């Protein structure tokens, strides 16, 4: 499978979102990554349904929504109604993760579970066969443009082993500090899907940057 690319809207120009959406539509990206933050689970606030609804209408790439909020289970139907293809929730925020995953799937979306950098792979043992996707944070969530945490490479390999051992069909997505140096090593370690924000949007030619990430394998 070719590496799936999900540009993170967090690094876009919010005064001219239409231009960045057009760029994504014209690129080889597979998804558009939407970071929803509540100022409680993470020390930052980003955007909510007005933006999700508008982007859902304008973007031809499926929305990959990453919730960094407490009680994401309250917003499953609204997320589906916005047109999201993937809804990912942090394991650290979900007391009843199994139920939440089932409800996301029942609402017609792919269900993802997200792990903070300090959350071990072993916590996925009893949910890995239920999820469509595991998103490993390779920075502490809340901000774009942070430095990649090296421990993620080993974590991808351990997750790849867990997926093989359990026969899970989950794909592995990585988020944070993905750029020219870290992306090939992540793909080599077993990542299927890369989120990238500042590296794509700050580059001179974002469409070419997306092409280059896509060409990794
Ligand atoms: C961080 C977000 C990321 C962020 C990545 O909490 O989840 O999606 O946009 O930004 P970069 O690629 O700049 O590290
Ligand atoms: Zn994200």
Distance 138 CA to ligand 1 centre (A): 9
What integer pLDDT is reported at residue 172 of this predicted model? 99
Q: Which of 63, 50, 68, 54 is nearest to 24 (CA)?
A: 63
Range of the domain at 155: 4-214
Question: 203: which 2 tokens?
Answer: 């580059």
Question: How many domains does the chain fold into?
Answer: 1
Distance CA 196, CA 177 (A): 7
- CATH number, domain containing residue 14: 3.20.20.70
How many CA atoms lie within 13 Å of 5's alpha carbon, on the beta-carbon side? 27
**% pLDDT > 70, the chain:** 100
What are the CA-CA distances from residue 14 to residues 11, 171, 173 (Å)? 9, 30, 25
Substitution candidate for ligand 1 out of 86, 197, 209 with most atoms within 8 A of CB: 197
pLDDT digits (tens, 9 = 90+) for 69-88: 999 999 999 999 999 999 99
Is the pLDDT reported for residue 1 higher than 80?
no
């Amino acid at each position: 499978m070719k590496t799936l690319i999900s540009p993170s809207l967090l690094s876009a120009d919010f005064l001219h979102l239409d231009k960045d959406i057009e760029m994504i539509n014209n690129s080889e990206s597979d998804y558009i990554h939407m970071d929803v933050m509540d100022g409680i689970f993470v020390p930052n606030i980003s955007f909510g349904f007005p933006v999700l609804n508008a982007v859902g209408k304008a973007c031809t790439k499926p929305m990959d929504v990453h919730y960094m909020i407490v009680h994401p289970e309250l917003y499953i139907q609204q997320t589906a109604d916005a047109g999201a293809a993937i809804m990912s929730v942090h394991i650290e925020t979900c007391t009843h993760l199994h139920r939440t995953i089932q409800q996301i799937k029942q609402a017609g979306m792919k269900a993802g579970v997200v792990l903070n950098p300090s959350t071990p792979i072993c916590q996925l043992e009893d949910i890995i066969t239920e999820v469509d996707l595991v998103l490993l944070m390779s920075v502490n969530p809340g901000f774009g443009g942070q430095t990649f945490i090296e421990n993620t490479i080993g974590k991808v390999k351990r997750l790849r082993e867990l997926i093989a051992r359990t026969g899970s069909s989950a794909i592995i997505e990585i988020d944070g500090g993905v750029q020219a140096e870290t992306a090939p090593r992540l793909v080599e370690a077993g990542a299927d899907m890369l989120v990238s924000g500042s590296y794509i949007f700050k580059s001179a030619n974002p469409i070419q940057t997306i092409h280059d990430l896509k060409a990794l394998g």
